[in-house]
Chain A
Amino acid sequence: MTLAEILAGLFPEGHAVTVADGLILGHGPRPGGGRVHVLGIAEGTPLGIDGALALAGQVLAIVRSGDGAPILMPIDSASQRMSRRDELLGLNEYLAHLAKALMLAEAAGHPTLGLLYGRSAAGAFIATALATARLVALPGAHPEVMDLPSMARVTKLSLDVLTDKARATPVFAPGLDNLVQTGAIGAIWDPQRPLAEQMEASLAASHPGGDDRDRLGAERGGRPRAAAIAERVAAQVAGRA
């Protein structure tokens, strides 16, 4: 689905969402009254220091407003912007700042909902969609950790070998289903059903035990050990304290 189609489905009565320089910004009405803030990345744009800072500034303004409205974050990005300038100026801080702002918003009563509708990768994915408390995707979305040529360079494996293994090994291969299996993506929306309803349902989904991604990963088989190990570490530490 295109962003325009998605926004029309989420807000059948119209919205005030625009895209400038690859960043999505605005808001739309909720069926029961009130609004949803919309902040995200469009058109496969890489996320650099400038974009991350602009998004974080918007998130913090929302927290300051105290309106309690949810934040929807639609994402179709590249990876983090890979450049000498971004690294020189401390891209890690800019991306972490955005992630912290989103998590602060959630804690301050603004439910955060990521919507992966296109590509995303690596640091851009971690700082945006993966920093929301609920992450859903639309069919056709394509998350990845790193493109295969870069992976080949880092792992010293040939591109042919990696391409072969990517077909057989969900735990490292790019793709939506593989990140559903690890628990990173909670649910995939059905484009045939009204998106507004699905958004409301996702926002209403509560997380009584906090971050449940490792438990989901165990249930779905993508991460067989993570939940048990995290729990065991916490229990051993607490038992001795």
Chain B
Amino acid sequence: MTPAFEPEALSWYEGSARQRIAALVDPGSFREAVGPEERATSPHLALFDLPEQFDDGMIVGQAAFEGTPILVAAQEGRFMGGAVGEVHGAKLVGLLRAAKSLALDVLVLFDTGGVRLQEANAGETAIAEIMRALVEARLSGSRVVGLIGGRSGCYGGGGLIAGCCSALLVTEQGRIGVTGPEVIETNRGVEEFDARDRALVWRTMGGKHRYLIGGADRYVDDGPEAFRAAVRDVLAAPGRLDLATLDAEQARLERRLARFGAARDATDIWSALGVAEAQAVPGLSTQAFRAVALGRESAHDAR
């Protein structure tokens, strides 16, 4: 941390993975596992003449959150868009396995475009392992909380991992999806999705929309204090995963499909949720947005 770095002034969107961790957990409490000094780099990027990074874009370790031991993982969106490769993924797998054996909760700071395509098979397999380790940790009683507000959003396999978390916290800039806009456009044409239409991207995949449909549990401002308050809040909830949880998730996802399955645009959904001026939602401040979002669909911990 440089002397000029003031954690509370951090923009989550602009910050680095290490800055986000430093600003989120108790000051000085983070201890990294397999840190950059170990030079755990990708064995595959050299094939593409691409630069390596000593942490492979994934920072994991333990810390204290308001005095309680917790595990933390953060993706570095500035390195290859936070994409998941072999080493990057394996660090999170190891952390989640430790969460299960130590019965600790986990915070995952997402910032990823999905699988790193230069090592696609290794990355895809890692995503599957992460999901299994995450679910096994949850089945043992750990809570896994996802924080989404980085530049790269949370796409591809990252979106699926997020969907396995006990709770999701999202900022306005935090986009969550599976297929990114460019890939939809490449496969289905610009008539299906115009990837250059940024307003369309934000209202289809952005934090406000996800919060309104129950795809995220807390809508937060773009800074550490807002995330801390939300983390405190969701760590107080049960966060269990069992048949009742998934039955309830089945019911809420069926309900979403029945209510909004015919909607063409996010604004149609927002209107159906009782937002009087759906067109105005993207421009609303946090406070004003929360006020119009009272009729939103809530996941009620069913995830």
Contact = CB atoms under 8 A, between A and B. Distances in A.
B88 to A, nearest CB: 10
Nearest to A88: B204
Interface stretch (A5-13, A17-25, A233-241): A233-241
Nearest to B91: A233
A219 interface: no
Interface string B165-189: 0000000000011111011101110
A56 B257 CA distance: 14
Interface residues of B, number: 92
Contacts of B113: 154
B204 A145 contact: no
A89 B257 contact: yes
B125 A150 contact: no
Nearest to B303: A93
Size range of the chain A interface in the assembly: 35 or more
A92 B162 contact: yes
B229 interface: no
Q: Is the interface of A mostly helix, strand, loop or mixed?
A: helix
Nearest to B191: A84
Contact of B118 (A50, A103, A172): A172
Contacts, number: 295
B60 interface: yes
A145 B97 CA distance: 25
A64 B256 contact: no
B215 A93 contact: yes
A191 to B, nearest CB: 24
Contacts of A153: 182-183, 186
Contacts of A85: 261, 263
B90 A230 contact: yes
Interface in A76-100: 80, 82-97, 99-100
Contacts of B57: none
A223 interface: yes
Interface string A89-124: 111111111011101100110000000000000110
Given A172-B117, A211-B133, A233-B33, A96 B162 contact: yes
Contact of A88 (B97, B156, B263, B303): B263
Interface in B144-167: 156-157, 159-164
Contacts of A53: 250, 253-254, 257
A178 B61 CA distance: 31
B132 A126 contact: no
Nearest to A179: B121
B98 A145 contact: no
Contacts of B121: 145, 170-173, 178-179, 181-182, 184, 222
A236 to B, nearest CB: 4
9 contacts: A50-B257, A92-B177, A99-B163, A104-B241, A126-B128, A144-B120, A213-B125, A226-B90, A233-B34
Interface of A: 49-50, 53, 56-57, 60, 63-64, 80, 82-97, 99-101, 103-104, 107-108, 122-123, 125-127, 130-131, 144-147, 149-151, 153-155, 157, 165, 169-173, 178-179, 181-184, 210-211, 213-214, 217, 222-227, 229-234, 236-238, 240-241
